[in-house]
Structure 1
Amino acid sequence: MEQIQFVPLLMGEVEGLVELITVRDSHIRRTDGQRIVVPNALLFENPVIVRTDRDVRRTSIIVGIAYDEDVDTAREVIGDAVRHVDSVCDDVRDIQVFAKAFGESSVDFEVTWWTGSRPVDIRSSRDQVVAAIKRALDEHGIEIPFPYRTLVFKSGSPLPLASAQPEEGE
């Protein structure tokens, strides 16, 4: 039997490295170290995603900026930060930074880039990109907002407001 190269796959809830294929079943090593034995019938009947078919894979994150910030400036700062991360393969395809949505407290950007295809490559690159974007936004004074809540109390509200004055005897 041929030796199988690193071929992680995703089928339902099974994801990992194919270690052995027999006539009846396939042995898959999950990224947490557990071995899963999958009947080959399931592999024949269901789609299988091979995540390492290529050396690179695209990944993405969502980054939010405060509504008071300039969208074009933030897009440029985020893009420049990602381009300078070592694990980003910018020679494969361009890094993309698109305004995606109006969030509850932020204008949200979807940031996509290419990196290595192994699970550890994706996690490591995402870690580096998040840190680089945070540093760049901080350096440029661009706010990443916390969720804001505005409470409005109507006059005559049944909820008594605490008095700033201490009561007698305190």
Structure 2
Amino acid sequence: MIIVLGFFVAAVVIFPTFKPGDLVTGLGITSVAVGFAFKDVLQNFFAGILILWRRPFVVGDQIKFREFDGTVEEINVRSTRIKTYDGERAVIPNGEIYTSALLVRTAYERRRVSLIVGIGYRDSIEEARETMMRALKKTEGVLDQPSPSAHVVELAPSSVNFNVLFWTKSQRADVRLTSDRVITSIKLALDEAGIDMPYPHSVVMFHDVTVKRKGDLERCKDLEL
């Protein structure tokens, strides 16, 4: 305190026009300017400290943040680096990633996968359900617990739709590989059971312009697409 007072006295003696209030005012304006200039830097720094301390995700986790989807490569006090599945690097300021919602895909060991499978209206719902369940239980990568399921969820225009649910390991490679196996197994099992998997189709009618009488549909040609 004595040193500060001595500085003010010396400044007044050397510079008669100097007023201590001018220095205080100048320091205040400078502090505000510096604060605005370093606002983002400080925000990212403290957010980085919180991420490293609270560990909402760690290096090696697979996360989705906005349009970025990939594996966390590095977390430092300024930013988080993600290697996307396309082999690109995304550098995200910690201030943004800490204050926004993100999805940690590998937070748990298991992940649930959902598929929509449609059957024909003339096919048996129970037979189709049993066929798909047998296929699911035989498919490599599908976990026993929680057990898979198949429930009717929609009467669509061309099909009766099932929502097929199963659990597998949470890594993206496991999800993609197991999903491929499940879809293949269900398709082959339904084909073997003679259960139809219809697809949307339209009927277009071309009217013969040589017909003299309007409304005479006997000479119309039907084309099914």
Bigger mean CA offset, 153-162 vs 131-140: 153-162
Query: Which residue of the partner structure matches residue 22 of structure 1?
Result: 76
- More off after superposition, 122-131 vs 146-155: 146-155
Report the RMSD for the aligned CA atoms in angstroms: 2.4
1:97: which partner in 2?
A: 150
Q: By how many angstroms is 1:139 displaced?
A: 0.7
2:137 counterpart (60, 68, 83): 83
SS of equivalent to 1:33? coil
**Does 1:39 find its partner at 2:72?**
no
Task: Give the partner amino acid of 1:66.
Answer: G
Matched AA of 1:143: D
1:123 matches 2:176: yes
**Structure with the larger helix share:** 2
| Alignment pair present for 1:156 and 2:210 | no
User: How far apart are residue 148 of structure 1 and its match?
Assistant: 3.0
What fraction of aligned residue pairs are identical, expressed as a percent? 35
1:26 is matched by which residue type in structure 2?
Answer: T
Seen in structure 2, the aligned counterparts of structure 1 residues 156 and 85 have a Cα distance that, compared at 3 Å, is same
| RCO higher in structure (CA 8 A, sep ≥6) | 1
Q: Find the aligned partners of 1:133 and 1:161 in 2 and give their Cα distance.
A: 40
Contact 2:206 2:220 in 1 (8 A): no
**CA-to-partner distance for each residue in 1:9-61, whole Å, 9 max, x for gaps?**
11111111111111111110111211100011111111121111111100011
1:104 deviates by 2.0
Taking a change above 3 Å as real, the CA distance of residues 158 and 44 of structure 1, as seen in their structure-2 partners, is farther
Q: Equivalents in 1 of 2:83, 2:157: separation in Å?
A: 40
Match in the other structure for 1:65: 119
Q: How many residues align?
A: 160
Max radius of gyration: which structure?
2
2:107 alignment partner in structure 1 = 53
* Per-residue deviation, 1:156: 2.6
- SS of equivalent to 1:52: coil
- SS for the counterpart of 1:79 is helix
Shift in alpha-carbon separation, 1:22–1:106, aligned structure 2, 3 A: same
Deviation at 1:137, TM superposition (A): 0.2
CA distance, structure 2, for counterparts of residue 17 and residue 59 of structure 1: 20
Q: How does 1:99-114 map to 2 (within 5 A)?
A: 99-114=152-167
Which 4+ stretches in 1 moved above 6 angstroms? 152-155
CA distance in 2, matches of 1:51, 1:107: 31
| Aligned equivalents of 2:198, 2:185: Cα separation in 1 | 17
Whole-angstrom CA distance in 1 between matches of 2:186 and 2:150: 12
1:79, 1:5 → 2: CA distance?
37
- Describe the SS at the equivalent of 2:154: strand
Q: Which runs of 5+ in 1 are unaligned?
A: 163-170
Deviations 1:69-126 (Å, cap 9, x if unpaired)? 0111101101111111011011x21111000101121000000000111111111111
User: Please, what TM-score do these two structures have when normalized by structure 2?
Assistant: 0.65
SS in 1 for 2:127: helix
